[in-house]
Structure 1
Amino acid sequence: MKYVQDSKLTDTLERELIRSELANEFEQPRPFAALRQVATQLLGLAADLKAAARRYDVQYANG
Structure 2
Amino acid sequence: MYEYKFIKVKIGSLNGKPKENYEEIIKEQASEGWRLHTLAPLPFAAAGQANELELIFERLVQ
Q: TM-score range by the shorter chain?
A: under 0.3
Higher strand share: 2
TM norm structure 1: 0.26
Structure scoring higher RCO (CA < 8 A, sep ≥ 6) equals: 2
TM norm structure 2: 0.26
Q: Point out the structure with max Rg over C-alpha.
A: 1
Higher helix share: 1
